[in-house]
Amino acid sequence: MSLRQVRKTYDAQEIVHGVDLEVADQEFVVLVGPSGCGKSTLLRMIAGLEEISGGEIAIGERTVNEVDPKDRDVAMVFQDYALYPHLTVFQNIAFSLQYRNVGKAEIARRVAEVAAILDIEPLLERKPRQLSGGQRQRVAMGRAIVREPKVFLFDEPLSNLDAKLRVQMRTEIKKLRERVRTTAIYVTHDQVEAMTLADRIVLMHNGQVEQIGTPEDVYDEPATLFVAGFVGTSAMNLIQGRIEGGAVIFGDGARLVLPPSRYDAHAGKAVTIGLRPEHLHWAKDGDPNPLVGVARVVEPLGSDTLVVFDVAGCELQARLPPRVVRHAGEAVRVAVAPESIHLFDPATERRL
Amino acid sequence: MAARPSRPRLLLRHATLVAVSFVMLLPFYWVMKTAVTNENIYAYPPGIVPRDPHLFNFVDVWYLIPFPRYLLNSIVVSAIAVAGNVVLNAMAGYALTRQFPGRRAVLALFLSCMLIPFQATIIPAYLITAKMGLLNTYFGLAFPMLSTIICIFVFKAAFEAVPRSLIDAARLDGLSEWRIILRVLLPLSKPAIATNVILSFIWSWNNFLWPLLITRDPTMQTLPLGLARFLSYMEDTTGALYAFAVLVLAPSVLVFLMAQKEFIRGLTSGATKG
C-alpha cells in the first residue's frame, strides 16, 4: 500500500500536509502522535470514510482515491468497537459476508474459524451489550478478520479499555498477528502501544510526518525534538547547551564529552541536548561524563526509581536502580555514555 | 439508582396517580357505560354500575349504517398513511443527518412549513389531488398524510443518536445507503418508528376535514364521516352514538397499546448501559 502526498483540508484549513508512506505487504505500521495530529483522519482517508483533498492512495497496484469504502478491500476496527447492538455476535461477524455473496455454509465455517482464533465461541449467541469491554474488542476484531481483507485498519482499538486489559489485549493483538499475517495500519496516541506492536512507526505531529522507522530507530535516533520528547516511557531531558572542543557545555559550566569527531562540523553552535533518563546511570569511578547534583524529587517505582535532580543549574530526571537514592536532598552521581547524548538544532528542531 | 422512597411518600405518590387516572379514565368509562345501557348522561341519580347492560346499540350501529365499510376504509387509509410515514420520514430523516449543500435551507423550509396550518393549504392540496385523479380513492384520502414534518424530525433525532462509527462500519461492511437505513438505523430506532406509527395512525384515523372534502361516494367515507352521518340519522343520540364512539375509538387505542409496548421496550433497552 502506498500514500503519495496525501492531504486533507477542512474549511480551507489543511490538517494533513502531504503524507508519503509506503507499506510493505504483511507489514504492521503504527501511526502514532498526540491527539489532533491527523493520524485518525489519515486512517479514515485510507478507509475511504473521508475524502482526500490531494494526493494519491493506492492499495496493491490500484489507486483507490475514488473507490467506495466497501470496494477497497479494507476492514476497520473502531475505537468504540462499532458492534451492531441489535445483532448477536455471530450476526455481527457474519454481517459483512452476507453482502458479499458468500454462501450460508461458508459463512458459518468462517465465523466458526474466527471465533476459534479469538476464543469467543461461547459468546456467539450473545448480544454486544452482554459482553465485557475486552470481549467486545475481540468481536470487533473478529468482524474484521472474517473478511480476509488486504489491509486491516485499527483506530485506537484499545483506548476504551482499562489499563490492565489494554496491556493484555496488546499482547493478544501481537499473538494474533503471528496467526493472521496481513498488512495492518494501527492508529494510537500511546507510544508504548506503538513501540510494542509496530514493525515500523510513523510519528505524526500537526498533520506532518516527523519520522518513519522501526521502534529501535525511532528510540535510538529520534529525527526531531518532537520525536525525542514523545518516544520513551519517561520523557527525554532536553536542555540548552553549546558545542565546544569535542564536548557540549550546559548550565553554569557542566561539560559532557561527545563521541570523537562526530560533531566537529558544528563546533561553536548552540544546541538542544537530549538525555534519556534511563541512560543516566549511577556513576562508577572512571566513567566518562560524571554529573553530580542534589536530588529534588524521588519517585520509587519498585523496579527502579525516578530521581529529579539539579545539576549545574539545570533540572534533570534519571531512572536509577531502586534504593541508590532514597530521599530528596541526597547527593546524586550519574554518568552518561558519549554515544547516548542526542543533539538537536534548536532552530530547525532537527537532529544533528 | 435512586434510593427507594419512604412508605408514606410512596402511598402519597400512588394516591395522586390513582386520582389522576380516575379523572382521565372516567369519561371513557362513561362512554362505555352509556353505550351498553342507553342511560342518559343527565339521568338521576347518577350511577356508576350499569343497569341492565345490553349490546343492542352496537348491533344498531353495525347494521343501520355501512359500518363495516367505513371501518375498512379507515383501516386501509390509515395503513397507507402509516406505511407512508414510516418509509418516507425515515428516508427524509436520514437525508437530513447527512451533509449536503442547501441542508440548512431545507431544514428552515421544513420548520417554516410546520407553522402553516393544514386548513390553509387544503385548497391547493385538493386541487393537486384532483389533478392527479385521486379524488374518491384510498390513496387520495391518505395523500396529504403520507409524511409529517414533525415525524421526520423524530427520525432525524433518532438517527443522530446512533454512533457515527456504526454507520462507518456498515459502509465498510459493504452496505448501500438504503441498506444502512434498513438494516442498521431502523432496527436501532424502534422508539422513533413507534412514535411515527402512533402519531400518523391517530392523525389519519381521526381526520375529518380532508375525507369530507375529497370523497363524493358514500362508500369511500371513513369512520369520522360516518359518525357525522350517523348523528343526522339518529333521533335519540345517546346510546347508539356512544356505541359508535366506542367502535371508532377501539382500534386506535389498540394500535396505541401495541406500539406503546414496543415504545417502552425500545426506550429501556437503549437505557441499559452499553
Question: How far apart are the two ends of chain B, measured CA to CA in Å?
Answer: 16
Convert the pLDDT of each residue in A31-40 to its tens digit.
999 988 989 9
3-class DSSP state for residue A67?
Answer: coil
Average pLDDT over residues B248-256: 82
Residue B271's pLDDT band (boundaries 50, 70, 90)? very low
Q: What does the pLDDT average to over B51-63?
A: 84
Write out the three cell numbers for A136.
Answer: 467486545
Q: Is residue B95 in a domain?
A: yes
- Interchain pair A69, B172: CB under 8 A: yes
B232 touches chain A (CB under 8 A): no
Q: Which has the closest alpha carbon to B147: B100, B114, B120?
A: B114
Residue in A with minimal Cα distance to B169: A82
Inspect the interface and report whether the beta carbons of B169 and A76 lie closer than 8 Å. yes
- B163, B171, B188 member nearest A69 (Cβ): B171
The pLDDT value recorded for residue B263 is: 61
Pairwise CA distance, residues A24 & A180, whole Å = 15
Q: Which residue of A has its CA nearest to B179?
A: A99
Residue B171 with chain A: CB contacts under 8 Å: 49, 69-70
- Whole-angstrom distance, CA of residue B202 vs CA of residue B199: 5
In a domain, B140, yes or no: yes
Please state, in angstroms and rounded to a whole number, the distance separating the CA atoms of residues B241 and B58.
9
Considering only CB atoms, which chain B residues are within 8 Å of A69? 168, 171-172
Distance, CA of B39 to CA of B243 (rounded, Å)? 12
A112-117 — which CB contacts under 8 Å span 24+ positions? A114/A142, A114/A145, A114/A146, A115/A142, A117/A142, A117/A145, A117/A176, A117/A179, A117/A180
Give the separation between CA A191 and CA A209, rounded to whole angstroms: 15
Looking at CA atoms only, how far is residue A125 from chain B in angstroms? 17
Confidence of residue B1 (pLDDT cuts 50, 70, 90): very low
> Is B177 inside a domain boundary?
yes
Domain interval for residue B259: 51-268
> Region B206-224: what's the mean pLDDT?
91
Residues in chain B with CB shorter than 8 Å from the CB of A96 are: 172-174
Give yes or no for a contact between A170 and A188, defined as CB atoms under 8 angstroms apart.
no
Instruction: Report the candidate in B218, B227, B223 with the shortest Cα–Cα distance to residue B136.
Output: B218
Residues of chain A with C-beta less than 8 angstroms from the C-beta of B274: 85, 128-129
Are B172 and A79 within 8 A, CB to CB? no
**Minimal-distance CA residue of chain A relative to B175:** A99
Residue B135, domain member (yes or no): yes
- Work out the pLDDT band at B270, boundaries 50, 70, 90: very low
Q: CA A261, CA A333: separation in Å to the nearest integer? A: 27
Spacing of C-alpha B172 from chain mean position: 37
Q: Pairing relation of β-strands A54-59 and A2-10? A: antiparallel
From A82, A85, A95, residue closest to B188, measured CB to CB: A85
pLDDT band, very low/low/confident/very high, at A246 (cuts 50, 70, 90): confident
Interface residue of B164, B167, B172 to substitute, partner A, most A CBs within 10 Å: B172
For residue A201, pLDDT beyond 90: yes
B166 and chain A in contact, CB less than 8 A: yes
pLDDT band at B241 (very low <50, low <70, confident <90, very high): confident
Q: Which of A69, A78, A86 sits opposite B165 (nearest CB)?
A: A78
Average pLDDT estimate for B155-165? 91
DSSP classification of residue A255:
E
Give pLDDT tens digits for A92-113: 999 999 988 889 999 999 999 9
At residue A351 the predicted structure's pLDDT band, cuts being 50, 70 and 90, is very high
Q: Is residue B137 part of a domain?
A: yes
- Write out the three cell numbers for B2: 435512586
Tally the domains of chain B: 1
CB contact under 8 A, A49 and B273: no
Looking at CA atoms only, how far is residue A172 from chain B in angstroms? 23
Mean pLDDT over each residue of chain A, to the nearest integer = 91
Query: Across the interface, do B168 and A70 touch by the CB < 8 Å criterion?
Result: no
**Structural domain includes residue B181:** yes
Report d(CA A212, CA A185) in Å as an integer. 13
Whether A318 has a pLDDT exceeding 90, the answer reads yes
Cα of A76 to nearest chain B Cα, Å: 7
Whether B231 has a pLDDT exceeding 90, the answer reads no
Chain B hits for A99, CB-CB cut-off 8 Å, are: 173-175, 179
Q: What is the ipTM of this complex?
A: 0.82
Instruction: Tell me the average pLDDT across B1-30.
Output: 85
Collect all residues with Cβ–Cβ distance below 8 Å to B167 and sequence separation of at least 6: B180, B184, B185
Question: pLDDT value at position B237?
Answer: 59
Q: Which of residues 7-66 of A touch B (CB under 8 A)?
A: 44, 47-49
The domain that contains B211 carries what CATH number? 1.10.3720.10
Q: Is B229 at the interface with chain A, CB within 8 A?
A: no
| Contact across the interface for A79 and B165, Cβ inside 8 Å | yes
How sure is the predictor about B235, in pLDDT bands with cuts at 50, 70 and 90? low
- Please indicate if any CB of chain A lies within 8 Å of the CB of B268: no
How much is the pLDDT for B265? 58
Q: Do A129 and B174 touch (CB under 8 A)?
A: no
Confidence category of residue A266, pLDDT binned at 50, 70, 90 = confident
Quote the pLDDT of residue B262: 64
Dihedral angle sign, alpha carbons of residues A49, A53, A59, A63: positive
Contact A95 B173 (CB under 8 A): yes
Instruction: Compare all CA atoms of chain B with the CA of A77 and give the residue at the minimum distance.
Output: B169
A181 vs B: CB within 8 A: no
The alpha carbon of residue A145 is apart from the nearest alpha carbon of chain B, in Å, by: 12
Average pLDDT over residues B220-232: 86
How many CB pairs (< 8 A) connect A and B? 55
Question: Is some CB atom of chain A closer than 8 A to the CB atom of B192?
Answer: no
pLDDT computed for residue B268 by the predictor: 52
Q: CB-based contact (8 Å) between A78 and chain B?
A: yes
Cis-peptide, bond into residue B45, ω within 30° of zero: yes
Residue B267, pLDDT > 70, answer no
B42 in any annotated domain = no
Per cent of chain A over pLDDT 70 is 100
Residue B269 pLDDT > 50 = no
Confirm whether B26 is domain-assigned: no
**In sequence order, what DSSP letters do the residues of B207-234 get, joined into one string?**
--HHHHHH--SGGG--HHHHHHHHHHH-
Q: Which residues of B touch A154 (CB under 8 A)?
A: none
User: In angstroms, rounded to a whole number, what is the distance separating the alpha carbons of residues A293 and A12?
Assistant: 51
A contacts of B187 (beta carbons < 8 Å): 86
Q: Residue B160 above 80 pLDDT?
A: yes
User: A74, B172: Cβ pair inside 8 Å?
Assistant: yes
Give tens-digit pLDDT for B131-150: 999 999 999 999 999 999 99
Give the one of A70, A128, A129 whose C-beta lies nearest to B172's C-beta: A70
Q: Do A69 and B273 touch (CB under 8 A)?
A: no
What's the whole-model pTM score? 0.80
| Nearest residue of B to residue A145, measured between CA atoms | B173
Sign of CA pseudo-dihedral A190, A191, A197, A199: positive
